[in-house]
Amino acid sequence: TLDATVLQWIFATISHDLLHTILEPDTTTMEALNRLRDMFQDNKHSRVVTLEYDFTHTTMEAFSSVSAYCQHLKSLSDQLKNVGFPVDNSRLVLQLVSSLIEPYKGVATLIRQSDPLPQFYQAWSMLVLEESDLKK
């Protein structure tokens, strides 16, 4: 049945911990979805606190490349948006440049002094170019 197919898809795409939490005999798709929804909605504000902390305490020195650092910040920003607390471009760009390591401080200053601030992907591109120059 369609219900069984969707239920199998849910079980195949969630973590084992979540699976064991929502799995009960004769569970319907709607029951599984409701349990998942309840778990995440009840957890929303705690999730926001954790994401905000991670977002504001992420530094470039923890990453192997500019792209890895930028991807992580963008992922945190997207997760905050998904729980109803979007991060605007200015805040994302300012967080990006505030935690750069020393070799990137010149580009950070250039980005901060831009009026208006560049879009996040433009700032990311500037940093990737700087990284490329530093490797030469």
Cα distances from 74 to residues 70, 106, 121, 128, in angstroms, run: 6, 22, 10, 15
Residue 40 pLDDT more than 80? no
Asked if residue 56 has pLDDT above 90, the reply is: yes
Which of 31-46 are b and which e, b meaning 16 or more Cβ less than 10 Å from the residue's Cβ?
Answer: ebeebeeeeeeeeeee
Q: What is the mean pLDDT of residues 106-110?
A: 96
- Note whether 31 and 6 are within 8 A (CB): no
33 confidence band (pLDDT: 50, 70, 90):
confident
Q: What is the mean pLDDT of residues 2-26?
A: 82
Q: What is the pLDDT of residues 90-101, one digit of tens each?
A: 999 999 999 999
Q: What angle do CA 31, 32, 34 make, to 5 degrees?
A: 65
Over residues 54-83, mean pLDDT: 94
